[in-house]
Amino acid sequence: MSWTKKSVSLAIIWAMFLAGGILLNGHPASGAQEAAKPAAKSAAPVEAPFSEDELIKLIKHNKKHPEKVADEVKTRGTDFEFTPDVLKKLSKAGANEQLITYMKQFTPSARAARKSRVGTAEVSAEEGEAYNKLKNERDPDAVIKDADEYVVKYPKSPLLTYIYALEAGAYQQKDDAQNVVKYGEKSLDLDPSNLISLLMVSSVLPTPQMLSNIGDAEKEKRLTAAAGYAEKALKEIDQLPKQPNETISAYQKRKDQIAAGAYASLGMVHLERAQMALVGLDQGELAKAEENYKSAIAKSNPPNPADYYRLGESLRGQNKLDEAIAAFSKAAQLAPGTVFEQLANQQVQALKKAETSQPKAAAKP
């Protein structure tokens, strides 16, 4: 008996809504609202983006204060892309991996990508108020009702991608996989970079609920789509903006925690593909599943017991019995007092029995 992988939790989804940008904080002020603001006392001079040489000098002069480099790059941006050659120069100057990852979001292409998204659009005060009310609603049935009404009332709203994401999240709470995918993909049709929808759909598509009672061709189609969404999510996570006053270390941990879900989705894709082999289990797919589940576990704190359980299945299929026992045992440890613990312990007992029944290798003379 296998365990259905837990989808991206609503805790993560709501955390992302609170983490920055229109996706997270609501909507930009309308023209009328902007005009009502008091004029600034004086406009600060706008400095040009950093050139490659300027940034290298800044890094060299602030090796012990990377936060100063981060703040200045956030303010000014760069006028160049981070090519492999540039990355080597930045590393040689003293920039560590976390600082480089942070600075990547201020290159010309990264800034242009952000400007092209919905966050630059204006919405009316009434529309924004309805969006914020919906965003703060917790009852899934109320979210679904309000989201449907919002779509009817504001059929051309630039916020629809997020409305559909909220509706998909509500269906996730109701364990309705079909509608999670339906509304998640509606959201992605409007904005293929909507990270919340990418994470939800990629986590649900490879589950048994979505793969049972369909032919292999349709199953592979769904698995391919899930992998594509998960890989796209990882790219979007790499570009997540740093929050005000967030340390570089905390910023990286936040990104890792979100990325864990995408890696787990990829693990599920490969685990399901392994079982589609004509004879036995596809060992190559099992190895890929193992790699992705290990990444998911390494990046999450605390780790998801379902990821350990699925890692155990991947290892068991490769006949790595000791490692599989350890993975299932960890899954049981992380889910005490649940049916999940019972299932994991059953796997441990079965594998230990299998180990004792295997003939021992003959000793070398």
Q: What is the pLDDT of residues 184-195, one digit of tens each?
A: 999 999 999 999
Give the span between the Cα atoms of 239 and 297, in whole angstroms. 21
pLDDT score of 7: 43
In a domain, 111, yes or no: yes
* 287-to-202, 259, 299 alpha-carbon distances in Å: 20, 20, 19
In a domain, 86, yes or no: yes
In a domain, 104, yes or no: yes
- Angle in degrees, 0-180, between the axes of helices 195-204 and 248-274, rounded to the nearest 10: 30
Read off the tokens for 148.
């449907």
Give the span between the Cα atoms of 282 and 294, in whole angstroms. 19
pLDDT score of 280: 87
In a domain, 98, yes or no: yes
In a domain, 68, yes or no: yes
pLDDT score of 291: 98
In a domain, 103, yes or no: yes
Peptide bond into 241 cis (omega under 30): no
Structural domain range at position 95: 52-116
Instruction: Work out how many domains the chain is built from and give that number.
Output: 1
- The separation between CA 28 and the C-alpha centre of its own chain, rounded to angstroms, equals 25
In a domain, 81, yes or no: yes
* 334-to-11, 207, 344 alpha-carbon distances in Å: 18, 21, 10
pLDDT digits 0-9 by tens, 28-71: 323 223 322 333 333 334 468 888 999 999 999 998 888 889 88
Regions of the chain with pLDDT less than 70: 1-47, 111-122, 359-365
The pTM of this model reads 0.71
In a domain, 246, yes or no: no
